[in-house]
Amino acid sequence: MPETDEGHAYFQAVEDIFLRLRGKGTLLSPADNEIARRWFEEGVPLELVHRCMEESFAGFHERGVKRRTGARREIDSLKYCARAVDAAWAEIRDMSAAGIREEAAPLDIPSRLAALADALPASLAGREDWRRRIHALLGDPPTVEEALSRIDREILEAAEAALAEGERTALAGEVETTLEHLAARLPALELELARQRLSAQALRRRLSLPLLSLFSPEAERTGEGGAG
């Protein structure tokens, strides 16, 4: 996983998009991590990754319906989507090199921040304060992304602290059940990092918390209206 805040946000967004499309909560494999790392280092836009992954999943499910086989197959790795992402990115670079492609439009940061603020669940304690902080962010994309990452961590910490004891125990049990399948494959340090990621993932899922990133699926839903 990239060490910078920008790289961490990119990785989290890729993981979040993949897991939502897959419909199951788990961690990306080490091989998937390397794919996401390569995309980040090559500068592949997250919007492109998101679009290609959606198209890959849609095509997979459409072919599955047409086959009508009894066995239920699933996409369980980013490898399935990587060919489409790489091909689309290569085409964009080729067009850019040939002077065909126009300069990409800048991110509409205010609209994306508004979409993220609206995506916060109504049940979130202190929702209006979080919304105001998100709306107030200013700066270029890396600056805003870093600030969003901090707010995201704060929200997760506050939400976890507000859980009832029973909810916290159930959440921890869910995480440990998943970790049992990873324990034999991961060293102690990586296992602890996996526990942290799984805990955050489970908490997001339980409380319907969006990933606060300019490139998360919620941020891209600009112009669709929100909770206000």
Concatenated DSSP letters for 166-190?
HHHHHHHHHHHHHHHTTTTTS-HHH
pTM: 0.62
User: Do 84 and 162 sit in the same domain of this protein?
Assistant: no
User: Do 93 and 116 sit in the same domain of this protein?
Assistant: no
Which domain, by its residues, includes 154? 109-207
* pLDDT one digit per residue (tens) for the chain, 228 residues: 555 666 777 887 888 888 777 766 667 778 888 898 898 888 888 778 888 888 887 777 666 544 455 545 677 788 888 888 888 888 777 766 655 444 555 778 899 999 999 999 999 999 999 999 999 999 888 788 888 888 998 998 898 888 888 888 888 887 777 777 666 666 666 667 677 777 787 788 888 888 888 877 788 765 444 444
What pLDDT shows up at residue 180?
Answer: 72
Is the four-CA dihedral 134, 139, 145, 149 of positive or negative sign?
A: negative
What pLDDT shows up at residue 225?
Answer: 42
Alpha carbon 150 to chain centroid distance?
16
Give, in order, the Cα–Cα distances in Å from 114 to each of 61, 125, 184. 32, 18, 43
Domain boundary among the residues 57, 72, 97 is at 97
User: Do 183 and 116 sit in the same domain of this protein?
Assistant: yes
Mapped to the 3 state alphabet, what secondary structure does 52-66 carry?
A: HHHHHHHHHHHHHHH
Number of structural domains (the chain) is 2
In contact, 63 and 109? CB cutoff 8 Å: no
User: Do 83 and 160 sit in the same domain of this protein?
Assistant: no
Q: Cβ neighbours of residue 42 under 8 Å, at least 6 residues apart?
A: 89
Separation CA 207–CA 200 (nearest Å):
11
Separation CA 85–CA 220 (nearest Å):
18
Separation CA 60–CA 80 (nearest Å):
9
